C-alpha cells in the first residue's frame, strides 16, 4: 500500500495559496506520507501510508473548502468530456463577468461621472437626492457581491481555519469597503448627508469584476497549455471495426477487448496495439518513430495504436487495449510530467505559505499607521488597506512553474521527446557531459553489408550468390545482414549441401560440388587457405571498424565481404551540436578499441571508452560524477539501465513501441540523437521561462505592495487606487501564463 500513488481531481482552487492550503491539510493526515498539488493541472497526488483511505483525503479537502474526486483510469472519452467541461466553465465565467460588468459600469458612472463632467439623471443627483443616490449604489453592489460570493465563502472559511489565501484577501478587502460604505448609507439615511461622498461600492464591484476577468483570461490561457494531451488523444479513432463470432461490427474503441480481431481499411488509424493475423499493407509510423517512409506489415508483424494504414486491408489481433496501448502510455507519461514540480518551485511554495498572513499584517499596519500616525481619514486608511490586500494576490507566483512545465513537456511530447517530470527538466539544464552508448544509439544497432571485394575471375554477383546460398542456413546476425543485402540486389540462390557451422570461425558448405569457406582468418588457417597479398585488405577493413569475412572456394581465396553497424544519419550532426553547446561528449561501448575508434572518427566523437561491459557502464558514469560532471547517459534503455539510473539524466532511445522505459528520465520515441539536443535545449528554455515568471511575480509583489501601502505618496508620488490594484493583480496572472505559452513557439531544430 505504501508504494501506491493516489491521484485526485480538484476544483474550487483560485490561486497558489489554495494549492498550499490543500497540500497542508492533506499532509497533516497521519496516513499520508507526502502530498503535492499542481495548480495548473488541478491535480492532487498523494503517497499513502498504512491505514490510508481515499475518504480521509476527500473529507480533508472538503473541510478546507474545496472539492476532490478520485481519478480512475482515463479513457479517451474522459479527456474529451474534461475539455468540454472546461470550455463550459469558461463560458459560464464569461456570462458572470458580463453580468458583473452590467452592474459595475453604472456604479462607476454614478461615483466617478460627476468628477469628469458626465451628466446624471436628476433623481440621481447626490446633492438633490442623496438617499436615492446611496440606495441605488447599494442595490447595484449586492448583485456583484452575489456573483463573487465564492470569494467570501472560501476566503472567510480558510481565514477561520488559519489557512488564509487569495480569496481571503479579496473577501477581507471588499468586505471592509462594503461595510464602511454600508455605514455611510446608514449615516445618510439618518440625515448626515456629508457621508454621501464616502462610499466604496464602486471599488467592491470593480475589484470583483476584475478578479473574475483575470480568472477568465487565466482559464482560457491554461486551457491552451494542455493542448498536447488533447492533440495526442485525438489521434485515436472513436470507433473501430472488429470481427466477433464471424460478424463484422463497429464498436467504440474503448470497448475493444484483448484478443479481438480489428479490421483496418486504407487510410484508417489503428485504434489499439496488436499483431497482424491476415493481409498485407504499409503503415505510416511517423508519429511514433519519426520514420517518414511507410513500413511494410504482414502476418506476425506488430501494429501500434495511432499509426495510419496506407494501402492494403489487414486484420490484426488486439494485444494491448485501454491504458496499456502505446499511445495511452505516452499520454500517461505526459500527464505525469505536467503534474510534477521542478525543484525551483520549492522556493515559490515556501513563500506562498507565509505570504498571505504577512500581507494581511502589512495591510493592517499600513492602515493603522496612516490613520493614527499620519492623521489621515478613515476613508484614506481604508483605501490603503484594500489596495494592499488586493494587489498582493500570489496567483502569479503559483502559476509561474506549473504552466511552464505543462507547455514545455507538452511541446516535447508533440515532437517525440517524452520528459517524465519537472525535476528532469531542471536536471537536464545542468548537464555538462553527455555519455553515448554506441550500438543502437550512435549506430543503427544492426549490421549491414558495406564492402564486397572480389579476387580472380569471379564476379560480384556470383560471389554474393555463393555467400547467400551458404548463409541462408545460418542464424548468425552477420548472415542476416548479408541475406538482407542480397535480397535487395535480387541475387539467385543455389542449393547447398553438407552445411557446417564452425564455432567462432565461420561456416563450411558444398555448393555445386565445390567447397566454400566463409569466415575469419582462423578458419582460413585451419583449412590451409593462403591469404597472400590480400591480408592488407583485411587489415584495412578492420581499422575502419568493419567485421570482415574471407571467402574461399576449393581452398582458394576468391573474395572478402565486410559488415558494419552503420552510424545513424543524424548522429554526426547531433554530436556536433552537443559540442557546440559546450558539452563534453563521450562514447561508451563494449566493442574493442579499433572498432570503437573507427566509429568515433566517423561520428565526430573525440573521447572514447571501449571494452566496457554493461555492468561497468554505471561505475564509469559514477566516476565522472565524482569528478564533478553532471552526466546525461544516452542508451537503449535496457542494457544500459544501470548507467541510465546512475546518471543525473537518463535518456532512452525508444523504439516507438516500448516507450515506458522505467530506467530513463527522457524517452526519445524517434530514436534520433538530434532529439537529445532538443531535450536539453527545451529544458534550458523551460527553466529560463520559469525564472522569468518567478522574477516578474516576485517583482510585481515586491514593488506593488509598498506602492499600495503609500510609500510613494509620502514623497509626493501617486497613491494606488484599489480598483487599479485589482486590475494589476488580475493581469499579473495572465501575463505569467502568456509568457509560459511562448514555449509553444520553441524551435526544435536550430
Q: Residue 609: is it exposed, middle or buried by C-beta count within 10 angstroms (0-12/13-18/19+)? A: middle
Catalytic site includes residue 437:
yes
Q: What is the dihedral of CA 216, 217, 218, 219, to 10 degrees?
A: 50
The answer to whether the beta carbons of residues 585 and 575 sit under 8 Å apart is yes
CA distance 708 to 718: 10
The beta strand positions in 212-313, using DSSP E, are: 239-244, 247-252, 261-264, 273-279, 281-284, 295-297, 302-303, 308-309
Please report which helix (H) or strand (E) contains residue 270, including its range: none
The DSSP bridge pattern shows strands 631-635 and 433-437 to be parallel
Q: What is the dihedral of CA 529, 533, 535, 536, to 10 degrees?
A: -170
The beta strand positions in 340-474, using DSSP E, are: 417-419, 433-437, 443-454
Catalytic-role residue among 437, 591, 640, 665: 437
The answer to whether the beta carbons of residues 348 and 694 sit under 8 Å apart is yes
Q: Kindly report the backbone phi and psi dihedral angles of residue 501, in degrees, each rounded to the nearest multiple of 5, phi listed first.
A: -90, 125
3-class DSSP state for residue 466?
helix
The answer to whether the beta carbons of residues 631 and 618 sit under 8 Å apart is no
- 372: number of CA atoms within 13 Å, CB side? 6
**The three three-digit cell numbers of residue 648, written as one number:** 543525473
Strand partners, 452: 561
- In whole angstroms, how far apart are CA 107 and each of 8, 110, 338, 543, 719? 42, 5, 42, 87, 22
The answer to whether the beta carbons of residues 682 and 746 sit under 8 Å apart is yes
Radius of gyration (C-alpha) of the chain in whole angstroms: 35
Q: Kindly report the backbone phi and psi dihedral angles of residue 15, in degrees, each rounded to the nearest multiple of 5, phi listed first.
A: -160, 180
CA distance 382 to 710: 12
CA distance 338 to 38: 9
The answer to whether the beta carbons of residues 643 and 635 sit under 8 Å apart is yes
The answer to whether the beta carbons of residues 99 and 93 sit under 8 Å apart is no
- Catalytic positions are 437
Amino acid at each position: 500500500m505504501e508504494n501506491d500513488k493516489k491521484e485526485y481531481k480538484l476544483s474550487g482552487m483560485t490561486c497558489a495559496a489554495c494549492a498550499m492550503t490543500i497540500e497542508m491539510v492533506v499532509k497533516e493526515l497521519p496516513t499520508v506520507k507526502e502530498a503535492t498539488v499542481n495548480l495548473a493541472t488541478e491535480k492532487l497526488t498523494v503517497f499513502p501510508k498504512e491505514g490510508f483511505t481515499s475518504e480521509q483525503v476527500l473529507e480533508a479537502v472538503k473541510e478546507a473548502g474545496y472539492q476532490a474526486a478520485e481519478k480512475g483510469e482515463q479513457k479517451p472519452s474522459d479527456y474529451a468530456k474534461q475539455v468540454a467541461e472546461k470550455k463550459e466553465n469558461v463560458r459560464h465565467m464569461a456570462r458572470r463577468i458580463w453580468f458583473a460588468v452590467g452592474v459595475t459600469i453604472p456604479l462607476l458612472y454614478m461615483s466617478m461621472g460627476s468628477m469628469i463632467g458626465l451628466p446624471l439623471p436628476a433623481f440621481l443627483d447626490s446633492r438633490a437626492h442623496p438617499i436615492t443616490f446611496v440606495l441605488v449604489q447599494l442595490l447595484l453592489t449586492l448583485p456583484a457581491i452575489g456573483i463573487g460570493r465564492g470569494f467570501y465563502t472560501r476566503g472567510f472559511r480558510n481565514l477561520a481555519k488559519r489557512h488564509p489565501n487569495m480569496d481571503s484577501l479579496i473577501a477581507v478587502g471588499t468586505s471592509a469597503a462594503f461595510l464602511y460604505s454600508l455605514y455611510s448609507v446608514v449615516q445618510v439615511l439618518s440625515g448626515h448627508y456629508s457621508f454621501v461622498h464616502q462610499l466604496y461600492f464602486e471599488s467592491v464591484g470593480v475589484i470583483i469584476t476584475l478578479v473574475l476577468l483575470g480568472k477568465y483570461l487565466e482559464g482560457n490561457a491554461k486551457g491552451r497549455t494542455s493542448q498536447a494531451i488533447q492533440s495526442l488523444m485525438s489521434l485515436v479513432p472513436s470507433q473501430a471495426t472488429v470481427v466477433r463470432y464471424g460478424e463484422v461490427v463497429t464498436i467504440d474503441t474503448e470497448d475493444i477487448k484483448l484478443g479481438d480481431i480489428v479490421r483496418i481499411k486504407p487510410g484508417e488509424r489503428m485504434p489499439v496495439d496488436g499483431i497482424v493475423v491476415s493481409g498485407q499493407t504499409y503503415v505510416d509510423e511517423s508519429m511514433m518513430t519519426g520514420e517518414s517512409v511507410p513500413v511494410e506489415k504482414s502476418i506476425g508483424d506488430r501494429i501500434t495504436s495511432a499509426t495510419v494504414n496506407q494501402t492494403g486491408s489487414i486484420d490484426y489481433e488486439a494485444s494491448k487495449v485501454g491504458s496499456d496501448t502505446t499511445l495511452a502510455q505516452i499520454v500517461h507519461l505526459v500527464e505525469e510530467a505536467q503534474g510534477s514540480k521542478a525543484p525551483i518551485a520549492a522556493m515559490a511554495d515556501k513563500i506562498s505559505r507565509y505570504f498571505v498572513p504577512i500581507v494581511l499584517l502589512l495591510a493592517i499596519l499600513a492602515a493603522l499607521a496612516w490613520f493614527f500616525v499620519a492623521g489621515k481619514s478613515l476613508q484614506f486608511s481604508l483605501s490603503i488597506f484594500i489596495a494592499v490586500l488586493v494587489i498582493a494576490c500570489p496567483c502569479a507566483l503559483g502559476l509561474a512553474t506549473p504552466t511552464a512545465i505543462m507547455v514545455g513537456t507538452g511541446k516535447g511530447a508533440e515532437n517525440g521527446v517524452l520528459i517524465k517530470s519537472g525535476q528532469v527538466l531542471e536536471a537536464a539544464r545542468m548537464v555538462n557531459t553527455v555519455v553515448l552508448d554506441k550500438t543502437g544509439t550512435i549506430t543503427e544497432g544492426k549490421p549491414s553489408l558495406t564492402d564486397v571485394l572480389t579476387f580472380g575471375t569471379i564476379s560480384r554477383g556470383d560471389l554474393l550468390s555463393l555467400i547467400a546460398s551458404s548463409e541462408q542456413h545460418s542464424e548468425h546476425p552477420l548472415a542476416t545482414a548479408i541475406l538482407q543485402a542480397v535480397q535487395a540486389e535480387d541475387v539467385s540462390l543455389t542449393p547447398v549441401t553438407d552445411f557446417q557451422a564452425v564455432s567462432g570461425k565461420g561456416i563450411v558448405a558444398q555448393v555445386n560440388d565445390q567447397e566454400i569457406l566463409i569466415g575469419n582468418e582462423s578458419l582460413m588457417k585451419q583449412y590451409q587457405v593462403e591469404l597472400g597479398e590480400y591480408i592488407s585488405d583485411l587489415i584495412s577493413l578492420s581499422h575502419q571498424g568493419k567485421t570482415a569475412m574471407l571467402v574461399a572456394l576449393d581452398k582458394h581465396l576468391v573474395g572478402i565481404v565486410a559488415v558494419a553497424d552503420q552510424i545513424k544519419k543524424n548522429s554526426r550532426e547531433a554530436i556536433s551540436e552537443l559540442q557546440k553547446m559546450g558539452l563534453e561528449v563521450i562514447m561508451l561501448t563494449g566493442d574493442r578499441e579499433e572498432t570503437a575508434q573507427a566509429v568515433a572518427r566517423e561520428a565526430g566523437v573525440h573521447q572514447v571508452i571501449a571494452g566496457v561491459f554493461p555492468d561497468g557502464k554505471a561505475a564509469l558514469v559514477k566516476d565522472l560524477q565524482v569528478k564533478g560532471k553532471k552526466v546525461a547517459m544516452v542508451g537503449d534503455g535496457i542494457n544500459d539501465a544501470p548507467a541510465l539510473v546512475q546518471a543525473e539524466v537518463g535518456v532512452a532511445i525508444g523504439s516507438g513501441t516500448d516507450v515506458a522505459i522505467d530506467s530513463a528520465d527522457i524517452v526519445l520515441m524517434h530514436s534520433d540523437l538530434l532529439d537529445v539536443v532538443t531535450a536539453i535545449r527545451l529544458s534550458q528554455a523551460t527553466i529560463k521561462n520559469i525564472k522569468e515568471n518567478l522574477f516578474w511575480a516576485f517583482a510585481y509583489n515586491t514593488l506593488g505592495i509598498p506602492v499600495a501601502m503609500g510609500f510613494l505618496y509620502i514623497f509626493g508620488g501617486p497613491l494606488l487606487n484599489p480598483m487599479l490594484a485589482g486590475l494589476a493583480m488580475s493581469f499579473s496572472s495572465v501575463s505569467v501564463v502568456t509568457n509560459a505559452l511562448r514555449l509553444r513557439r520553441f524551435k526544435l531544430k536550430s
